[in-house]
A and B are shown apart, each in its own frame.
Chain A
Amino acid sequence: MLKATLRSFLAHKGRLLLSALAVVLSVAFVAGSLIFSDTVTRTFDRLFASTSADVTVEPKQDLKSSVPTGATETVPAALAGQVAKVAGVAATHADVSVQNIVVVDSKDKSVGPTTGAPTIATDWYLTDRSPVKLTSGHAPQGAGQALLDADTANNKHVKIGDTLTVQAQPGSFKVEIVGIATFTTTNPGAALVFLDPATAKSQLLGASDRATSISVDAAKGVSDAVLKQRVAAAIGSSGSYDIKTADEQAKSAAADLGGFLDVIKYVMLGFAGIAVLVGVFLIVNTFSMLIAQRTRELGLLRALGADRKQVRRSVLTEALLLGLVGSTLGLAAGIGLAVGLIKLMTAFGMNLKTAEMVVNWPTPVAAYVVGVGVTFVAAYLPARRAATVSPMAALADAEVAGVGRPLRVRAVVGSIVGAIGVAALAGCAAATKTASSASLLGLGIVLTLIATVIAGPLLVRPMIRVLGGAFPALFGSVGRMSQRNALRNPRRTGATAAALMVGLALVGGMSVASASMSKSFDQQIDKTLGADFVIQNGSFVPFSKEVTDHVRATDGVGLVVRARFAPLAVRLPDGKRVETTAAGYDSPLDKVAHIKYAQGNTTSALAAGHLAMDVDFAKDHKVRLGSVLPVEFPGGRTTQLTVGALSDQGTAGGFGTQGGLFFGIATVEKYVPNGQDSTLYVNAASGTGADQLRKALDTTLKPYPQVQVRDEADYKKLIHDQIAVLLYLVYALLGLAIVIAVLGVVNTLALSVVERTREIGLLRAIGLGRRQLRRMIRLESVVIAVFGAVLGLGLGLVWGVCAQQVLALQGMKALAVPWTTIIAVVIGSAVVGIVAALLPALRASRMNVLAAIAHE
């Protein structure tokens, strides 16, 4: 029996090719993402482990802001001397390292990375842990001298002797590049500027007695853990410091980077998931068709005495072989994919070495589990069907076997699952709490997707009758035959279209959600923004005070309102402690923004010792106007603030700013000292035109490439672009889903062509031209693809509308359906159909007429 299985596998290897490709793609993405993230993790673990001091003393990091504040927390530099006296300490150093800077060259161009990686300014203090060494020039001495890392110097064409401007929080200063430092370890992609220690403290922190951390070297024979305890005992661990051993420091540094790496990993796994999901349909179809074509052969096996179990096992063994071959190739492809990603990261400035690629044991295990598992599961149903082939099938004409089986079970299961799914979606739309609404949405999406997949074949007849309805009129009998061919085996058509449906449903839903978000933000901006211009960084990073000063001094500027952010934790009357981020504004806020209040007004909200919050959030937590709330700020600073106003903007939460808290900018300046402005709202002075002011502002901001002037339209575009990033990701997922779906359509058509060999031969014999034959197959492909697209987009629209209901709870109340996108996708799916039909059509038209009609 095994021999027969092997023979059959080898005999059908051409027909299994596309299924194998689907397995390869899925496995490649799984393996690639694991290898890539393992490699990156190990590279950075090594980097951090080798660069971390034995013990590090840092400012306590209790509150983390989701919005950057531009402030750098510090420790007293004198702490280094204090720690040096602890027994077992060999040496200490007061480090300075800040990321809230911008470095520009003489042409006012930023020399920082364009990838979102930070520009870091630090003190030049060479130890055996330093990730860099001086490769040319000399160490910086005194103010006005600096080193630059070699990669940045190369990329931005900076040479020794060039002058750069460092825009730090205390103020800008010019430095001459006197040397180049080269990474001895992996460069994580940041730009590094080194200053001498004294200059670093005064110019970067604005205080010669502060440092950003204290690094401690242990004496011989003293372990890091022991030293940590001693240091903690000497300076008090519970207070305002975090004390970490080298291991802990490396781990927390890796965790910070991990967030970014996780994104890449999850995106990759998302691709793998889509590939698996879509690939399953392809494999199910292939096995179903192979079995349909082999009904006679299976019947013969049964007639010769093979029992059902043996037949089923034979099919599943074939699936196993396919899975093994696919997984092995997929693993190889995954390694290739990882190499590609590593190269890509290198292009972005993160120097990873492909030679140091890590393949941990879970990678091949995952690859084979996914590859073999998927194939096995996908082949299981067809295998069971194969086992039910009766011995009589060997004798009967097998042409129509398996086509007419009723779809009753599918109808029942599909409608039950669908009903639950629709109920979940309805519940999602009706829910008033974001969390429950979102989980109902998730449940509804999964269930309706499953229901559509199950019931898909039932929708084939009615929908393809409509979609291909014009074919007979437009294309005559060729059109009629193609439409009916698509209707011929609803299961097959359904499964083929389902592959396309999955991807397009996702896109449909996401595009409705993002269009709705954009529209909501537009409405919000229209409603609230009253400023002529908004000045901010494209990625909302705060900027130095000089910018604010220069803008204020610009001719034609009437009013400037600053906005800053502060992370805080607030203890609410219902006993809850909520960590969030609050905004601080200058008092003439009403001139640049239209804020609706349920109680109070801007003056009472921004008054000293007061704050405002969203009225719904207040209601939920039993906050009233006049409530006094204990508030914690970073660095252990605490205070009590009185609720001075309740705003009613309809936009509670979102972007980590739960509760919509805001207060006077003085509060931020007091409790988050050394912060930077995030946004400037600017109004023109009377008598100054907007165009005139814009020109003046552009001139003022020329030396500050990190900030831009935006009017209302530009500001909307900025928001749209941010939302679009999400969409690009979805489009990339869609691209992959479509590639596999096309493989699926190609697969189905190719196998159908083989199945219909005699029919095609007959058509050719009685005079169907090759072009007509190709058109027939193309039309069938188009109608299947459009069917999948319509089904997917229909589902996606429903999801999108429900998702918008969830967003509405977050204040994004507008619903927008991007019809142009949707129509473009339908047209695109027709193109997909045409492309998918190319090879099968060519193959059919090349078919030997005689071989096709021969019966001797």
Chain B
Amino acid sequence: MSTPAAEHAPGQAPAGRIAARARGLTKAYGSGETTVLALDAVDVDIARGRFTAVMGPSGSGKSTLMHCLAGLDTVSAGQVWLGDTEITGLKDRELTRLRRDRIGFMFQSFNLIPTLNAAENITLPMDIAGQKPDQKWLDQVIDTLGLRDRLKHRPSQLSGGQQQRVACARALASRPELIFADEPTGNLDSRAGLEVLGFLRDAVDGLGQSVVMVTHDPGAAAHSDLVLFLADGRIVDEMERPTAEGVLERMKRFDLARGQLDGPPAATGDTEDKD
């Protein structure tokens, strides 16, 4: 079994190929007896120009991992880099600026500001920064996502799939170093979900974007280049060029392990052994 940590010793990875990186990333909630480890010394490298999926059962820490990598959450221990920038230890203002200028976000729901129309939502991060969007690029993104005739619509006038496409366009519009997508298809029907996944795939292949997607849907994960499996706060496995069946198969083993354990997540070690 090989974890990314085994492949990349700290500091060795050429920065040019790495979009984000974590070393010994630990996130604990509570203190003393009641401490719960959401992330347990995770080492991970997110490759540039690839579509990485993070999978795991509920409570495995996959969302926490994304939040820590994206500078949304503080870490209890360890280091996180975005490109060459170490983001652990940055102040709120610097983190905010970093998210604004270098990261794109897609969430499961409530992705858009209801008072702004689609066009305003798409350019919001750049507006906040006081920057002019690159109009040519913007047009390309809008046309790719087929939003040209929806630009003046408010979110409430858009379907769920259209809303996610707007969110996708917003994430792409400022050409961020890394896009984080948190269950982007969770609230969509399968057709709209496939559409969004297709756009993310295209963004990686056609536009050279780097995407990290958190999901619990094996079908969605199958669109990625690499799946990282998380369980009980650790990366327990990874799968290159995944298929839905392969991912599903892998996930079933977690469920099996859980069923046998029938206990609290304190038994992390056992899970690790099984893997």
Q: Do A and B bind each other?
A: yes
Expressed in whole angstroms, the minimum distance between the Cβ of A129 and any Cβ of chain B is 76
Stretch at the interface among B1-9, B113-121, B219-227, B248-256: B113-121
B76 at interface by CB-CB < 8 Å: no
Stretch at the interface among B81-89, B101-109, B139-147, B199-207: B101-109
Contact A758–B63 (Cβ < 8 Å) = no
Interface of A is mostly: helix
A764 at interface by CB-CB < 8 Å: yes
A853 at interface by CB-CB < 8 Å: yes
Interface footprint category on B: 35 or more
**For the complex, what is the distance from the CA of A765 to the CA of B109, rounded to whole Å?**
14
Stretch at the interface among A54-62, A479-487, A739-747: A479-487
Contact A476–B115 (Cβ < 8 Å) = no
Contact A855–B114 (Cβ < 8 Å) = no
Binary contact readout A466-477 vs B (1 if CB under 8 angstroms, 0 otherwise): 000000000011
Binary contact readout A747-775 vs B (1 if CB under 8 angstroms, 0 otherwise): 00000000000110011111111101000
B23 at interface by CB-CB < 8 Å: no
Contact A484–B115 (Cβ < 8 Å) = yes
B67 at interface by CB-CB < 8 Å: yes
**For the complex, what is the distance from the CA of A487 to the CA of B129, rounded to whole Å?**
24
Asked if A770 meets B92 with Cβ closer than 8 Å, knowing A477-B116, A481-B115, A488-B115, the reply is yes
Contact B97–A476 (Cβ < 8 Å) = no
**For the complex, what is the distance from the CA of A484 to the CA of B115, rounded to whole Å?**
6
Contact B116–A768 (Cβ < 8 Å) = no
Chain A residues with CB under 8 Å of B72's CB are 765, 849-850, 853
- B105 contacts which of A485, A487, A765 (Cβ < 8 Å)? A765
Contact B99–A850 (Cβ < 8 Å) = no
Chain B residues with CB under 8 Å of A772's CB are 128
Expressed in whole angstroms, the minimum distance between the Cβ of B127 and any Cβ of chain A is 4
Contact B113–A767 (Cβ < 8 Å) = no
Chain A residues with CB under 8 Å of B235's CB are none
Expressed in whole angstroms, the minimum distance between the Cβ of B64 and any Cβ of chain A is 9
Contact A758–B110 (Cβ < 8 Å) = yes
- B67 contacts which of A478, A480, A764, A850 (Cβ < 8 Å)? A850
Contact B128–A480 (Cβ < 8 Å) = no
Expressed in whole angstroms, the minimum distance between the Cβ of A752 and any Cβ of chain B is 12
**For the complex, what is the distance from the CA of A766 to the CA of B108, rounded to whole Å?**
14
Asked if A766 meets B170 with Cβ closer than 8 Å, knowing A477-B128, A850-B67, A850-B72, the reply is yes
Interface footprint category on A: 20 to 34
A725 at interface by CB-CB < 8 Å: no
- A853 contacts which of B97, B100, B107 (Cβ < 8 Å)? B107
Interface residues of A in 442-494 (CB under 8 A from B): 476-478, 480-481, 484-485, 487-488
Chain B residues with CB under 8 Å of A758's CB are 110
Count contacts between A and B, CB distance < 8 Å. 83
Contact B156–A400 (Cβ < 8 Å) = yes
Contact B113–A769 (Cβ < 8 Å) = no
B93 at interface by CB-CB < 8 Å: yes
B159 at interface by CB-CB < 8 Å: no
- Among residues of B, the one whose C-beta sits closest to the C-beta of A852 is B110
**For the complex, what is the distance from the CA of A759 to the CA of B100, rounded to whole Å?**
16
Chain A residues with CB under 8 Å of B105's CB are 765-766
Contact A764–B96 (Cβ < 8 Å) = yes
- A767 contacts which of B73, B96, B108, B110 (Cβ < 8 Å)? B96
Chain B residues with CB under 8 Å of A714's CB are none
Contact B114–A765 (Cβ < 8 Å) = no
**For the complex, what is the distance from the CA of A769 to the CA of B67, rounded to whole Å?**
17
B58 at interface by CB-CB < 8 Å: yes
Contact A476–B130 (Cβ < 8 Å) = yes
Contact A759–B108 (Cβ < 8 Å) = no
Chain A residues with CB under 8 Å of B243's CB are none
Chain A residues with CB under 8 Å of B73's CB are 850
Contact B120–A762 (Cβ < 8 Å) = no
Expressed in whole angstroms, the minimum distance between the Cβ of B189 and any Cβ of chain A is 16
Chain A residues with CB under 8 Å of B115's CB are 481, 484-485, 487-488
Interface residues of A in 808-856 (CB under 8 A from B): 849-850, 853, 855-856
Contact B108–A855 (Cβ < 8 Å) = yes
- Among residues of A, the one whose C-beta sits closest to the C-beta of B183 is A855
**For the complex, what is the distance from the CA of A81 to the CA of B263, rounded to whole Å?**
110
Interface residues of A in 317-349 (CB under 8 A from B): none
Expressed in whole angstroms, the minimum distance between the Cβ of B93 and any Cβ of chain A is 6
Asked if A476 meets B114 with Cβ closer than 8 Å, knowing A765-B72, A767-B100, A850-B72, the reply is no
- Among residues of B, the one whose C-beta sits closest to the C-beta of A767 is B100
Chain A residues with CB under 8 Å of B103's CB are 767
Contact B93–A770 (Cβ < 8 Å) = yes
A399 at interface by CB-CB < 8 Å: yes
Expressed in whole angstroms, the minimum distance between the Cβ of A753 and any Cβ of chain B is 14
Contact A770–B96 (Cβ < 8 Å) = yes
Contact A767–B99 (Cβ < 8 Å) = yes
Expressed in whole angstroms, the minimum distance between the Cβ of B27 and any Cβ of chain A is 11
Contact A767–B128 (Cβ < 8 Å) = yes
Contact A855–B109 (Cβ < 8 Å) = yes
Chain B residues with CB under 8 Å of A766's CB are 99-100, 105, 124-125, 128, 170
B271 at interface by CB-CB < 8 Å: no
Expressed in whole angstroms, the minimum distance between the Cβ of B232 and any Cβ of chain A is 16
Contact B116–A484 (Cβ < 8 Å) = yes
**For the complex, what is the distance from the CA of A215 to the CA of B73, rounded to whole Å?**
89
Contact B97–A767 (Cβ < 8 Å) = yes
Apart from A481-B113, A762-B113, A853-B110, 6 more pairs, CB < 8 Å: A481-B115, A484-B116, A758-B110, A763-B113, A770-B92, A855-B110
Interface residues of B (CB under 8 A from A): 58, 63, 67, 70, 72-73, 92-93, 96-97, 99-101, 103, 105, 107-116, 120, 123-125, 127-130, 156, 170, 183
Instruction: Name 20 interchain pairs, CB-CB below 8 A, sorted by A.
Output: A476-B128, A476-B130, A480-B116, A481-B113, A481-B116, A484-B115, A488-B115, A759-B114, A762-B112, A765-B99, A765-B105, A766-B105, A766-B124, A766-B170, A767-B97, A767-B100, A767-B125, A772-B128, A855-B107, A855-B108
The 4 closest A-B pairs by CB, nearest first: A767-B100, A484-B115, A477-B127, A767-B99
